[in-house]
């Protein structure tokens, strides 16, 4: 068990048989690719055709074995307890297999050393179009998800109506996703999708791959208070029902959605805890990129590395444009008349908003005070 912040209560318990089989399959797939390209004793044309087929098979086997190994050595580190695997979760009533077939179930749980209410705020804005999925942005984009993980709270995503039942939660630009079913503040949120009775949101869809008649699933993130709410236990679980129950359909739901989602779930746990404690730093690649591209600002440079993503509404009280003039919120001179050049009514707008050159000193003071307060929250001062 790790003692590092964000990694506590993580257990290493891969199953030996599954792990050994996956390693053997992975090695065999690599050898198949090597043999088909360099050692296959055939004339050129059939050699090339069979080599291509063998390489495709090898890629499939490597992917499958790799997903198993990721699940055994990484995702299972936060697998729910046997009791949690069987307990009833909110939203579970929404998904049943009409033929009584076994559902594909993923359940993960962890104790988070962060206040429940702070963790909930981040769960509340967990959405590809809002705060992101709190896992790996690049990995999520690799699978087609339009995600930018913020790791910081934004007021616009924290309003009482920021998440409501019926809101669509879109994974990717193609419209794949689910609809918000239940939202109980500081307790749980449930997303739900059923392609046999789909949501009516225009443009919405779900990943019902070819050959399936329907896919139905729910996803629940629930919180349990620990130490009077000073800490919490989080459970991340979903069940998937699909038909027909063929090998290829089982594979797509288990290996891609199941194992892939479980991998992202463990990472999400860590980032939710770090974000709730203001400890989620920029990743090393992003810090390197920022250093190479250069930076210029007039504030404590520690904040650049320790804040993973810019606080989008930070400057509303002190917008930099007011160092030069008042911002425009309406403009009677636009659009200009045909044949005339546009003349921005700067003086009129400044007078309307009561702007003077002294405003620069005022917004600098506000920014310094906000920065100092934030540094104290982060225990840097």
Q: pLDDT tens digits for 301-342? A: 778 778 888 888 889 999 999 999 999 999 999 999 999 999
Mean pLDDT computed over 273-288:
87
Backbone phi and psi for residue 369, each to the nearest 5 degrees, phi listed first: -65, -40
Q: Which two tokens stand for residue 50?
A: 């069979």
* CA angle, 233 then 236 then 241, to 5°: 150
d(CA 131, CA 114): 18
User: What angle, rounded to 10 degrees, do the helices at 44-73 and 260-276 form?
Assistant: 40
Q: What is the DSSP letter of 179?
A: E
Cβ–Cβ under 8 Å, residues 54 and 33: yes
d(CA 95, CA 216): 6
SS3 category, 380: coil
SS3 category, 32: helix
More confident position, 102 or 144: 102
SS3 category, 340: coil
* Alpha-carbon dihedral angle through residues 122, 266, 171, 251, given to the nearest 10 degrees: -160
d(CA 70, CA 64): 10
| pLDDT of 358 | 96
* % of the chain at pLDDT higher than 70: 98
pLDDT in tens, 356-367: 999 999 999 999
d(CA 265, CA 131): 15
Task: Give the other-Cβ count within 10 Å of 169's Cβ.
Answer: 20
Residue 74's alpha-carbon distances to 71, 264, 314, in angstroms, are 5, 10, 36
pTM over 0.95: no
Q: Which two tokens stand for residue 307?
A: 């804040």
SS3 category, 107: strand
d(CA 262, CA 76): 8
Residue 237's alpha-carbon distances to 143, 219, 222, 223, in angstroms, are 20, 6, 9, 12
| pLDDT of 200 | 83
Task: Identify the sign of the CA torsion 339, 340, 342, 348.
Answer: negative
Q: Which residue has the tokens 């990943």?
A: 207
pLDDT in tens, 68-115: 999 999 999 999 999 999 999 999 999 999 989 999 999 999 999 999
| pLDDT of 275 | 94
Mean pLDDT computed over 293-307:
74
Backbone phi and psi for residue 170, each to the nearest 5 degrees, phi listed first: -90, 120
d(CA 20, CA 104): 23
């Amino acid at each position: 068990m790790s003692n590092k912040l964000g990694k506590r209560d993580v257990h290493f318990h891969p199953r030996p048989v599954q792990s050994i089989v996956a390693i053997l399959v992975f090695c065999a797939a690599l050898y198949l690719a090597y043999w088909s390209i360099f050692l296959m004793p055939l004339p050129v044309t059939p050699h090339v055709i069979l080599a291509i087929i063998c390489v495709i098979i090898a890629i499939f086997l490597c992917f499958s074995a790799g997903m198993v190994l990721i699940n055994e050595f990484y995702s299972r580190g936060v697998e729910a307890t046997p009791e949690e695997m069987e307990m009833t979760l909110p939203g579970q009533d929404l998904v049943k297999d009409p033929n009584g077939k076994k559902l594909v179930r993923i359940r993960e749980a962890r104790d988070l050393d962060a206040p429940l209410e702070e963790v909930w705020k981040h769960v509340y804005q967990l959405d590809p179009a809002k705060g992101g999925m709190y896992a790996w942005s690049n990995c999520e984009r690799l699978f087609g998800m339009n995600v930018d993980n913020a790791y910081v709270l934004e007021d616009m995503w924290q309003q009482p109506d920021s998440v409501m039942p019926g809101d669509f939660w879109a994974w990717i630009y193609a419209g794949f996703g689910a609809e918000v079913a239940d939202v109980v503040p500081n307790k749980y949120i449930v997303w739900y999708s059923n392609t046999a009775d789909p949501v009516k949101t225009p443009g919405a869809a779900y990943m019902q791959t070819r050959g399936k008649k329907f896919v139905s699933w729910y996803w629940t993130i629930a919180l349990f208070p620990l130490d009077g709410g000073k800490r919490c236990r989080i459970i991340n679980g979903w069940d998937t029902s699909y038909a027909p129950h063929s090998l290829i359909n089982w594979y797509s739901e288990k290996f891609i959605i199941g194992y892939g989602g479980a991998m992202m779930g463990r990472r999400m746990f860590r980032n939710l805890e770090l974000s709730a404690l203001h400890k989620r730093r920029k990743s090393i690649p992003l810090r390197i990129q920022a250093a190479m591209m250069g930076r210029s600002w007039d504030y404590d440079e520690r904040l650049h590395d320790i804040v993973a993503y810019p606080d989008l509404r930070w400057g509303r009280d002190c917008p930099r444009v007011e160092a030069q003039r008042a911002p425009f919120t309406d403009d009677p001179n636009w659009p200009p008349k045909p044949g005339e050049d546009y003349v921005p009514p700067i003086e009129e707008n400044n007078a309307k908003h009561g702007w003077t050159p002294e405003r620069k000193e005022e917004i600098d003071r506000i920014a310094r005070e906000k920065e100092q307060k934030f540094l104290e929250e982060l225990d840097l001062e």
